[in-house]
Amino acid sequence: MRIVSLVGNRPQFVKAAPLCAALRALGDEVLVHSGQHYDPELADLFFDELGIPSPDHALEVGPGTPVHQLAIMMERFEHVLRDERPDAVLVYGDTTTTLAGALTAAKNGIPLAHVEAGLRSFDRSMPEEQNRVVTDHLSDVLLCPTRQAVDNLAAEGITRGVHLVGDVMFDASRMFAPLAAARPGPAALGLEPGGYLLVTVHRAAATDTPAALDAMVDVLSSLGQPAVFPVHPRTRGKLQPGGRWEALEGVPGLVLAPPAGYLDFTNLLMNARAVVTDSGGVQKEAYFHGIPCITLRDTTEWVETVEGGFNALTGMDAARVGAALADLSMPAERPPYYGDGHAAEAIARAVVEELG
């Protein structure tokens, strides 16, 4: 069986690390990199340190609006599909890359498998929600990380080709935690283990308007304790006009760091007092490592982490973030929401059984 897998951003690279090996044990995988994350600090570094096979094709989409990127990806990906003639296309998650792969496969009559199917924040204003809903309704094999995801699909009338497989990011977390633990860690930044917050902000809703950027600066300026913020290149570019970057440089205890590779980032997360983020993937990674999470959004696709008391939704609101930081208690036991750490093998088997 010949499968074309399409990846394009940091979480997809992480998920590809265990899944590429599982797919290649059962068939022929062709790996395509869209170039959605085009900065070497966010792409090449992940391939190198996680041992992901070099992409067989690079679409090199580069910067642009989501619509611009989508159009270029679809055109270039179609050429790949016509050359490779795969039995199936596999996409991950909820990015522009995901949607491009799904639409191009559907228009060319090629069966589609979706990793992380069924997730819903129920906020259609989010680009990620738009992408995941469309992708699910085009997919032939829907690979769900949680029982809630299966239920969400059933509520939309999707029951065929649905598999509860667990979360492949949990596989990656288990695989790379020992390597991450050996990295230099917070001491290299002058921080004490367990004595700082780890901050990430990158979503369009938090960075694309002056009001959103001002709210971010307000939140980060009011944390009141040591924090490290590995700044996404896109976020830094948005912050630099208007004196916002300079304002953050003046916040006591806030370390503005370059983007971190997966292993270095995981080390920072494992040693943090808490995580403050707008990232879906980082919410899960905090859960995997037993670190309290504060999510700078009003909705999340990872609802079980909130319902279980491991994650607090605050929006980009300094007062709500402060209140959540004042109460960081979380249950000692973490239920197996995301499977047993063998999702990659379950995904590969499901794809081959359904489409092989």
Which CATH number belongs to the domain containing residue 125 in this structure? 3.40.50.2000
Phi, psi of 101 (to 5 degrees): -65, -40
What's the token pair of residue 9? 């951003």
Averages of pLDDT over each 10 residues, the chain, 356 residues: 94 94 96 84 73 92 92 98 98 97 98 98 94 98 97 98 98 95 93 97 90 96 97 89 95 95 95 96 96 97 96 98 95 95 98 93
Residues 163 and 180 in one domain: no
* 184 and 123 belong to one structural domain: no
Q: Give dist(CA 38, CA 34) in Å, integer.
A: 9
How many beta carbons lie within 10 A of that of residue 310, not counting itself?
21
Cβ atoms of residues 3 and 30 within 8 Å? yes
Q: Assess whether 42 and 122 both reside in one domain.
A: yes
Co-location of 254 and 150 in the same domain = no
The verdict on 51 and 122 lying in the same domain is yes
Whether 7 and 75 map to the same domain: the answer is: yes
Is 22 in the same domain as 124?
yes
Residue 283 shares a structural domain with residue 191 = yes
Pair (155, 6) in one structural domain: yes
pLDDT of residue 43: 63
Task: Specify whether 202 is catalytic.
Answer: yes
Reference 52, options 200, 172, 135; nearest CA is: 172
Q: 303: burial class by Cβ within 10 Å (0-12, 13-18, 19+)?
A: buried
Q: Is position 333 within any domain? A: no
- Report the pLDDT value the prediction gives residue 10, as an integer from 0 to 100: 85
141 and 232, same domain (yes or no): no
Q: Judge if 153 and 182 occupy the same domain.
A: no
What local confidence, expressed as pLDDT, does residue 210 receive? 94
Would you say residue 286 lies in a domain?
yes
Candidates 230, 109, 113, 211; CA nearest to 161 is 113
Catalytic residue among 37, 114, 163, 202: 202
Whole-number pLDDT of residue 41: 58
Maximum CA extent, the chain: 57
CB-CB neighbours of 342 under 10 Å: 16
Indicate whether 228 and 190 sit together in one domain: yes
Give the Cα separation of 320 and 160 in Å (integer): 41
pLDDT at 204: 85
The total number of structural domains in the chain stands at 2
Parent domain of 319:
176-326
* Residue 43 covered by a domain: yes
φ, ψ for residue 166, nearest 5 deg: 90, 180
The candidate with the shortest Cα–Cα distance to 120, out of 140, 135, 102, 99, is 135
Task: Please give the model's pTM, rounded to 2 decimal places.
Answer: 0.92
